[in-house]
Structure 1
Amino acid sequence: MSIQTKHRDEFLATLDHLSAVYGKVAGSLGRNGLFTFPDHHRLAEGLFLSAWAHWEELIQALLVDDLAEDPSGFVQADVKKFRVKGAPRRIAERILYHPDHPSTFVNWDYGLVKSRAGTFLGQGHRFTSALPRANDLEKMKRIRNAVAHKSDRAWESFKNLVRDQPFSLTTGQMKGITVGRFLVSHNWNQDRVIRECFTIHRQNAMHLVP
């Protein structure tokens, strides 16, 4: 098993776990349940953000390892001999984390990762072809920003998103809307939005590491 396959399988296992947790929460609602509906909404936001964080962790790990291993990539092409086994990965990390690491964070947005892969890796790298759910990932990014940023701009973007297709929320449905309520109360491709988000992550991950 390659290190990239290991990263993918760990991510898929995380999605399975998050989906199972969501099922437990959804099954514990109501008058005699453990959770209220506001609890359900807030927990759904946390599960959604956890999946997103692990997605960024996956593409970060793939880029670092590809840069360390790709024979036509920047590291392997420019360094003919390494003194120790782990040197290529450490060099790849220093290149990709610089200059932000460790005092601040590097932005691992997929578009930026793809751009950096084009700079440091050889032609035909795994990020070259479009993700099968690239447009849906962009929708999910707007949902994520509405939870993580809480800015007016992020909230307006979210409201415009859910009013538009494929969600098409009405004025009545928009009353009292929160991200968590949207995730668990509305459908996307015949499934709850949060579950479809997990599916999108899964399909994109399988595309990057078949």
Structure 2
Amino acid sequence: MSLLIIKDLARQLGVDSDVLVALAKGKGIDVSGGESRVGADEEWAIRKAVLTASPLSHVERAQPDVAASPRSSRWPRMVPAALPGQRPVGKASPPSDLAKVFLNRDDDFVSGFLNPPPRHVRVERAEKIAREWARCLFTAQEAEEWVDRHGSISPDVAEALRAAGLSAGQSTTRIRTERGFVEKLSLAIRVSSEELTAEEAAAEYRAMQGRLA
């Protein structure tokens, strides 16, 4: 296999070409520095197999198909394979419980789309959001309560409000002042917009509760 092909593939995949060279040699593939010994059809098949692999930087050799043409049988077929510890290609891991909270909301949102994003893309996006909520130590049930009441609230804001002693339900409150004026925005939105700190929001809530007692 031409070294030029490997370098070109590495550039497309965003990986170190030395990694692909080592993988090729480790699989018994002859890597030369000159021109490729395979034709355009075989080279394209190799590119396609590597570019569609998951993860992209790892492939394994397979025995050539007996029924293949004499020309194609000169070069082993490239088959994508997962690295150790990662899911096999084509077999998606089930989303985490926390990710399901955001995936279910996303499913409802894209249900009317003509061409919604592929599910694996939406799962990855949900897992990314879930990691942000997990970093703030929210369980799936807790996160669901906050997003059900506050939509796309930041987990950092929810964490601050919770630390100040306000629940998801209490954070929806629109404060009524001593003169009877009612704020247009909830405590959570006012904290999100940095109008208030979480501690100030909690103080306003307790003060209002005291007036209503």
Per the normalisation by structure 2, the TM-score is: 0.26
Which of these two proteins has the greater Rg computed from alpha carbons? 2
Per the normalisation by structure 1, the TM-score is: 0.26
